[in-house]
Amino acid sequence: MRKTGAWAVSILLLGCCPAFARGTGFGLQFSTGLQGSLSFFEVGVTSPAFGDGMTVGLKARSMSSITWATFLHRNGQSVSFHPVVVGGVLSFGGASPFIEDSYRMYGGMDLFLGYSFTPYDSLIYKLGNLIGKNLTYGLWGYYGIEVFTAEQVAYYLDAGGGFKSLQGDDANLYAIASSWLGSGFGMKTGLRFYF
C-alpha cells in the first residue's frame, strides 16, 4: 500500500509540477573540456529551473596547461612552465523548450575566480610557485546542445569563448604569461544528472 501511494504521489508531481519535470530539477554535472590552451575537469551543481527555464550553477574547476607553456616577452626574455589553475565557477544560463522531446539548446556564461600555481615545476625543480601570489579570474560565454539519454540523464556539448587574467606581480614573467593562458575559444562536454 505504501509503495502504491508513493508511486501515485510521484506521478502527480511529475505530471503537474514543473519543478519535477524532465530537466528542470536539481542537477549534478561532470565535464571535461578545453579553454584556450588549458584543459580542465569540472564538477558542480545546478539549481532547479526558474522563470523561463533559467538556472544558476556552482562548480569547482581545475585547469592545466596541455603541455609546457613557453612565453616570449617583448624585452627578449622567455620562460617555460606548466601552470595549473583551480577555483570556483558561478554560472548563469537558460535552455530552450524541448525539441522532439529528447534534446534542447542552451546557453550561458561562467564567472571564474581562483588561483594559479605551478605544482609540477615545484615538484621537479623545488622552486615553489613561480607565478607568485595572485587572484585569477575569467569570464566565458557558450552555447550548446543537451541530449537526454534517459529520463533524468543528459549528455551535453557546448562551445564558446572569453578571457582569463590574473591580479599579481606585474614584473613577474610567469605571472604575465599565465595571465592570458585560458583566453580564447573553449568547449566542454559531460553528463548531467537531474533529481
SS3 106: strand
Full residue range of the structural domain in which residue 54 is found: 24-194
Q: How many beta carbons lie within 10 A of that of residue 131, not counting itself?
A: 27
The pLDDT value given to residue 12: 38
Residue 145 domain flag: yes
Q: What is the CATH number of the domain that holds 139?
A: 2.40.160.20
pLDDT tens column, 110-157: 999 999 999 988 888 888 899 999 999 999 999 999 999 998 999 999
CA angle 91, 143, 178 (to 5 degrees): 60
- Does residue 45 belong to any structural domain of this protein? yes
Give dist(CA 188, CA 31) in Å, integer.
7
Q: How confident is the model over 162-181, as pLDDT tens digits?
A: 999 999 999 999 999 999 89
**189, 154 in Cβ contact below 8 A?**
no
- CA-nearest of 132, 94, 135 to 112 is 135
Within a domain: residue 80? yes
Residue 19 lies in a domain: no
Residue with cell 579553454: 35
Is residue 10 assigned to a domain? no
pLDDT digits (tens, 9 = 90+) for 38-64: 999 999 999 999 988 899 999 999 999
* Number of domains into which the chain is organized: 1
pTM here?
A: 0.83
Whether 7 maps to a domain, the answer reads: no
Q: Examine residue 102 and state whether it is found in any structural domain, yes or no.
A: yes
The partner residues of 42 in beta bridges, in order of sequence, read 31, 61
**Within-domain flag for 16:** no
Q: Which three cell numbers stand for residue 29?
A: 554535472
Asked if 32 and 40 count as a contact pair (C-beta separation under 8 A), the reply is yes
